[in-house]
């Protein structure tokens, strides 16, 4: 994996950092496909209790810091390993496995926060991933969220970040149990 890969960077995604204020201090956060745990460490530093899950035990080893429980699990085979657990926030970055959508929504507390950012249709012109199974269709995240959540922010389109052009979708949404309206900036 190249040193400048999004999976090896230590800084959180700009999108996740922008909407992190929707996740209160002390919240229980699930970092899905956490990789080396950049978002797990970010939320732990903000006073959250984080479960970082990834199938790559070697990458996940970097996530072992105070406030982070790292668990090796393959989320794409077998039963959903977190069926009995609820989270105040779920964070997913650069990962897509559509069969997980119902599990993620069920694991989110009624007033919880979903922060999601991954590649979308059109990315194949700029690099990996190129397989349509790993690219969101136009509007797919907002459609998914509208079924159970209130969308705070949604973006889709071409970005140039860290010298890499990609096509992405980004979602920040809260459960309908959340007091409305949410604070749009972390002030």
CATH of the domain at 21: 3.40.50.150
Q: What is the pTM of this model?
A: 0.91
- Does residue 22 belong to any structural domain of this protein? yes
- Does residue 186 belong to any structural domain of this protein? no
Q: How far apart are CA 32 and CA 82, in angstroms?
A: 11
User: Quick one: pLDDT at residue 74?
Assistant: 93
pLDDT-based confidence at residue 187 (cuts at 50, 70, 90) = low
Q: How far apart are CA 11 and CA 17, in angstroms?
A: 9
- Does residue 183 belong to any structural domain of this protein? no
Whether 185 has a pLDDT exceeding 90, the answer reads: no
- Does residue 2 belong to any structural domain of this protein? no
User: Quick one: pLDDT at residue 62?
Assistant: 86
pLDDT single digits (tens) 98-127? 999 999 999 999 999 999 999 999 899 898
Q: Mean pLDDT score of the chain, rounded to an integer?
A: 90
- Does residue 82 belong to any structural domain of this protein? yes
Which range of residues forms the domain containing residue 32? 14-175
pLDDT-based confidence at residue 63 (cuts at 50, 70, 90) = confident
CB count, 10 Å around CB of 120?
23
pLDDT-based confidence at residue 6 (cuts at 50, 70, 90) = very low
Q: How far apart are CA 129 and CA 121, in angstroms?
A: 10
**Sequence-separated (6 or more) residues with CB below 8 Å from residue 119:** 94, 96, 129, 134, 135, 136, 166, 167, 168, 169
- In total, how many domains does the chain have? 1
Phi, psi of 19 (to 5 degrees): -110, 15
Phi, psi of 29 (to 5 degrees): -115, 135
**Sequence-separated (6 or more) residues with CB below 8 Å from residue 108:** 86, 87, 89, 90, 114, 148, 149, 175
- Does residue 169 belong to any structural domain of this protein? yes
116 burial type by CB count under 10 A (0-12 exposed, 13-18 middle, 19+ buried): buried
User: Would you report the helix, strand and coil content of the chain in percent, each value rounded to 5?
Assistant: 25, 35, 40
pLDDT single digits (tens) 14-34? 999 999 999 999 999 999 999
- Does residue 116 belong to any structural domain of this protein? yes
Whether 8 has a pLDDT exceeding 80, the answer reads: no
Given a contact cutoff of 8 angstroms between Cβ atoms, the answer to whether 52 and 40 are in contact is yes
Which tokens hold the place of 21? 């204020």
Given a contact cutoff of 8 angstroms between Cβ atoms, the answer to whether 135 and 119 are in contact is yes
């Amino acid at each position: 994996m190249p040193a400048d890969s999004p999976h090896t960077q230590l800084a959180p995604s700009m999108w996740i950092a922008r909407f992190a204020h929707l996740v209160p201090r002390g919240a229980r956060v699930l970092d899905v496909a956490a990789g080396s745990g950049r978002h797990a460490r970010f939320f732990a530093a903000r006073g959250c209790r984080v479960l970082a899950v990834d199938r790559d035990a070697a990458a996940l080893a970097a996530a072992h810091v105070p406030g982070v429980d790292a668990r090796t699990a393959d989320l794409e085979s077998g039963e959903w390993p977190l069926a009995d657990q609820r989270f105040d926030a779920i964070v997913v970055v650069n990962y897509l496995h559509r069969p997980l959508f119902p599990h993620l929504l069920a694991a989110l507390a009624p007033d919880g926060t979903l922060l999601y950012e991954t590649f979308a249709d059109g990315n194949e012109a700029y690099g990996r991933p190129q397989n349509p199974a790993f690219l969101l269709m136009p509007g797919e995240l907002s459609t998914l969220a509208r079924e159970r959540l209130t969308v705070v922010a949604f973006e889709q389109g071409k970005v140039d970040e860290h010298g890499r052009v990609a096509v992405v979708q980004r979602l920040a949404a809260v459960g309908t149990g959340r007091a409305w309206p949410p604070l749009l900036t972390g002030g």
